Amino acid sequence: MRVLSVVLVVSLLALVSAQLTAADKVSDDQIFDQVKLKFGKDTQVKGGAFEIDVKDGVVTVTGKVRTEKQKDRAERLAKQVKGVTKVVNKLVVEP
């Protein structure tokens, strides 16, 4: 009987843990929206011609910026978004 109780408790804990992990996962759409918001609110990168793609938490940013500082800032902003696992910065500096 004791073994059965332990097995049930362990199974229940595993189920609860899996549900919490799934609830914490941020969708690619949510990441996309948050990156767009961050870019739009930031005075250094606002107005840049960006294309944002998100796949499994990996954010790819392409487009043109005027300075290297804008390029670096865009990458830092994207990395701040919850759920982002990696940022691929393909921005091109064109003064």
Summarised one tens digit per residue, pLDDT across range 20-54 is 455 578 999 999 999 999 999 999 987 667 899 99
Q: What is the reported pLDDT for 13? A: 56
Token output for 55: 């796949």
Show the domains of the chain with their CATH numbers: 25-93 (3.30.1340.30)
pLDDT band at 7 (very low <50, low <70, confident <90, very high): very low
Examine the pLDDT at 9 and tell me if it is beyond 70: no
Q: 81 with 38: CB under 8 angstroms?
A: yes
Average pLDDT of the chain to the nearest whole number: 83
User: What is the model's pTM?
Assistant: 0.73
Q: How far is CA 70 from the centre of its chain?
A: 19
Q: What is the reported pLDDT for 50? A: 87
